[in-house]
Amino acid sequence: MLEKSKVAVIKCEQYDCNEVIQAVRRGIDLIGSIPAIFGDIREKILLKPNALSGKAPEKCVTTHPEVFRAVATVLKEASIELQYGDSPGVGRVAGVMSKIGIKQVADELDIPLADFENGEFVSFPDGYRIKQFKIADGVRDCNAIVSLPKLKSHGLTRMTGAVKNQFGCIPGFNKPEFHVKLPNVADFSEMLVDLNLLLKPKLFIMDAIQSMEGNGPGSGEPVNTGFLLFSTDPIAIDTVACLLVNIQPDKVLTNTIGTERGLGTGEVANIEILGDNWREMVRKDFDIDRGPRLASKSSWKYSLLRQLLTSKPVIDDKLCRRCNLCVEQCPVTPKALSWKNEDHKNPPVYDYSLCIRCYCCQEICPYGAIYNRSPLLRKILDVIYPF
């Protein structure tokens, strides 16, 4: 009989230092043990938080520093040598880490910052979609990865969790290139699965004490979800996270593709859910995209349906600060966003015929001025097929 993947769901309702440390100890013990997870590896273990941008921890954009502290404390007690890092969507690594409170904790615990500014290409002939990735030097130099994702809604992939967290192992502006090469969410999800198959993180601990719903992953609303998730299986942990925010796991394509590719299991029957009663923690009203999604096609019929069904990014004139980050971040050439006037008195304007719906602009906007607007037909279908 095939051994089930273990996912621990631990109730933790606030970012109290002692409470989080106790939850981390309990969660790791339930899915195995530190020796069982890491074997003889004790040096250069990389802590990989979600450090998308330099917003304050209470905005729920990034992994909370108390979760980082708790995991680092427990691992250091086991004599594991740690380093940390991530490649943010905008800004220098050290500056973003300081703004989100993780650098201060790392300095206190004497954990060095790994190099996420530079990288080299790594061949991956076993990749299904991608055969080569540019990987940050700090990732290439480590012996194992502990992934610390933040549970958030996401404009493109619906949910960002364990699998997508490794996208930050690609340095700097190399990430937007993938949105150009892989504008379809299925292709993009295949790339994320390939990346995880290459990097093989040892442990995943998901921060969902507070999560982000709505206009995620950068401008949504914080919501108290009250739990931490633990697993060595990225697909299993994302699948359980989906259950907890009331979205069918197969709506998140990395779950289905990752299961098919052998990255992990998204079959609930093959997951052993341990810890606290997860059914009591389900957020049925969690604001996340549960609607239908088109498969990848190249016909004119698909193009028409795409316009009728796919959400598009829209700029709120009252919130836009004319910072130009969205224009800079747009990965296509020519850009789908441009200024109509040199004085920038009005927000940038979209050319939706060029827009690939990667939502990089929405993800990077520091003011929450860009949101995804659903067409009328999509809204009707969401009512008819709510789950």
Instruction: Please tell me which residue, 47 or 293, carries the higher pLDDT value.
Output: 47
Task: Assign 341 a pLDDT band (cuts: 50, 70, 90).
Answer: confident
Long-range contacts for 376-384 (Cβ within 8 Å, ≥24 apart)?
377/308, 377/309, 378/291, 378/292, 378/308, 378/309, 378/310, 378/311, 381/291, 381/292, 381/309, 382/290, 382/291, 382/292
Q: Which of 139, 145, 162, 143 is nearest to 231 (CA)?
A: 162
Cα 292 to chain centroid, rounded: 21
Structurally, what CATH architecture does the domain formed by 5-281 represent?
A: 3-Layer(aba) Sandwich (3.40)
- pLDDT band of 297, cuts 50, 70, 90: very low
What pLDDT score was predicted for residue 174?
A: 82
Q: Residue type at 136?
A: A
CA distances from 349 to 320, 345, 368 (A): 12, 12, 16
Q: Distance (Å, rounded) from C-alpha 13 to C-alpha 88?
A: 27
17-41: pLDDT as tens digits: 999 999 999 999 999 999 999 999 9
Q: Which residue has the higher pLDDT, 364 or 302?
A: 364
Q: Which fold has domain 300-384?
A: Alpha-Beta Plaits (3.30.70)
Specify the domain boundaries for CATH 3.30.70.20 within the chain. Answer: 300-384
Query: How far apart are alpha carbons 337 and 350 in whole angstroms?
Result: 5
Q: What are the residue ranges of CATH 3.40.50.11440 in the chain?
A: 5-281
Q: CA–CA distance from 327 to each of 39, 172, 203, 242 (Å)?
A: 46, 16, 36, 32
Q: Please tell me whether residue 6 adopts helix, strand or coil conformation.
A: strand
Instruction: Report pLDDT digits (tens) over 59-79.
Output: 999 999 999 999 999 999 999
- Find the DSSP H helices in the chain: 17-31, 34-38, 65-77, 93-99, 102-108, 137-140, 162-165, 174-181, 185-199, 234-244, 253-260, 300-309, 325-329, 360-364, 376-384
* Structure-derived torsion over alpha carbons of residues 162, 165, 169, 172, reported in degrees to the nearest 10: 170
User: What is the pTM (predicted TM-score) of this model?
Assistant: 0.88
Span 76-99, pLDDT tens digits: 999 999 999 999 988 899 999 999
